[in-house]
A and B are shown apart, each in its own frame.
Chain A
Amino acid sequence: MKYHLVTLGCQMNKSDSERTSTVIERMGYRWTDAEEEADILGILACSVRQKSIDKVYTRISKWNHRKKDRNLLTFVSGCILPADREKFLKLFDLVFTVDELPDLPSMIRQYGIVTPASLQSPAGVPGAEKGFEPATGLEPKKNPAEIRRFWKINPHYSSAFEAFIPIQNGCDKFCTFCAVPYTRGREVSRPSGEILAELRDLVEKGYKSITLLGQNVNSYGHDKLGDEIPFHQLLEKIGEFGKRSGKDFWVYFTSPHPRDMSEEVIDVIARYDCLAKQIHLPVQSGDDKVLIRMNRNHNIDRYREIVRSVRKKLPAATLFTDIIVGFTGETDEQFENTCRLMEEFRFNMAYIAMYSPRPGATSSRWKDDIPLETKKQRLQILTDELIRHNRVYNRSLVGKNLRVLVVGEDRKKGYLKALTEGRLIVRFPSDDRSLVGQFTEVRINSAADFSLEGENLAIIEELNES
């Protein structure tokens, strides 16, 4: 019995797919890379762009065609807008929200068609014995108890050294370009005890890079009205554990909202070695009026305050951001303000996207009035700026020794790829696969626009000794 999952979209979906794999594998299924061999085919959908939703329709059409020849079961979960959910109910055997995942074995057993899964006895997942109610609601479920059951599932981690821990689900910010509040529902924080237990377990198993995930990760605890610790205290507990554990690991978080980025968060990152000195802080635009239209609930002065504090208290930290160019109504002057912002903050990485209306988001009801050509030009201008700043920054690292985590083989033959604490890409010559998942130190010899190249110091030392 085999299964195949298609995961679209962000890290949150990737993390959700690790838990989905756990539930399916507990029913006795094994993963297959080949879709045509699978008895269960599932999709974790993403509603951020129409293109991602189109991929779901393409896949299910193919899968339903295959049903003529063999007995298989299809499902879709993840980020789904109510309007798409209605359509998916006619195409997939099962449509459910991620918080209903613990009920998947019951759903399959009671679905009524004979599949290997439907012949299985109850799987030992929380809630599996609970009565199954068909998932026919058009709106995403918003019951915090449901998502808490989901978090109790132990994920089937796809890496042996990098892992994601969901700490919060949903969003209450209602940025006008984004549909997440409509697909994932309201902000719900996971109990801190569970988060810390999962983190401790990962560290004990030797994980080196752990990312705390949430749509607004630093709004953690706000929904609990004082019944849960705030985000900076969660980080503090992680920092204390890191100190006591004697283990080497880096903890990241993504993505925070500037509105909730407090001084306490920056202070606590500065205090503990295991809290990685890398801040990913989406700004989206350098113009206050565009930020108002985006309903971002902060202005550039507020963003500047945070960056100043980061530069002062975390001088070695790298700064990443997200920017949208060509948002509805963005004038040349407003775009110029974003260029000025790029010059001022000199980001180490900016994920720059041309605006496209996202189905279900408020801004999808407005005219997308910036021509594609203009969007492309603006994207190019900002990308050029980013490259220029990176070149200068990366060159300043030449000659330095940097601690890196080796993450795999590089595209360049005979090289391994690694990441610094600040998530800068470093490649170095080596074919020693045993280094993957380990920390090492690299002397930087040269710098490219978005990467660094160097030599593994352990090897240099070995050569010197011999």
Chain B
Amino acid sequence: MKRAVGLQVLMLLGCGPSAEDYSFVRTEHCPPDCDAGARDAGPTDAGPPVIPDEPLEPWDTADAGPLTGIFAAEVIVTAKVVIDIEARQLYRIRLLQRGTELRMRTQACRISLPAVAGVAELTIPPALERVLQTKGNEVEGPYLSMEDPVGAAFRPPSAVIILGADLSDPMLDLLPTQADPSRALDEDADGHPGVTVDATTVLCRNPERAYVALRAVALLDGIVEDTDTIAGTVSPLLDQSVLGVSHNCLAPAAELVIEIRPGSTFRALRVADAQDWDGNGNVSCPEIALHAADLFGDYWMGR
């Protein structure tokens, strides 16, 4: 009996690795014909474009000058985020010209955030785009240097767009932060502070989300080349504050510092019936986005 116990003690002491103590992590897997790497198709994969009905602003255009109309404007921002990059933005600008006076309404149609391909990329999801398109900036004043617009200098005041924050002074107030989110505003109504942007980084296994507050300011300084074209330089300001992330793998992306470099430009092109997809007399932001590749080149293909 004692020897048997001794043997069992020896066995217990020296039984080596044990598969019974090594737990399984799952019991099921894909059947043989299952594509484990497949992902669902996205919302833009198929179907005709959906253009919300957006009527033209009811401005009195009597005696309006030749510059009056709707323009699609592309702003190219040169910045440095680790390396030199370009970020492009698309705007709808409606102008009503009388002499040197301009009534001007600016809407942001597409904003691409500065990103480093393969390292950290932030993109605007459809829900945020809808919020963006409700943002408008309307000003009126003597923004042309002469009554004959062709060849005139075009210098409107700065246009400011705030997303995800409620600021008393849009230009001077600090954006909310993770430490002080008191002025954060859940503008896309998804339950997270600020607005939600999609984020992919080199550190993340899957696409994640960042909750941010943004401020974009553009000061245009251009020349009216002809009644259909205005071009010049931009002094942009892009300010962003990360209020939260869906996964800690985004933490390095939240630390990215964007440095705006000199050399940003803009080009505004008149749009009209050819771009009026729904024929309602107004070329809205979605219609401008739909034709952006035709107007400004392949960069906008599929964006």
Pair from one complex: no
| B residues at A contact (CB < 8 Å) | none
| A residues at B contact (CB < 8 Å) | none
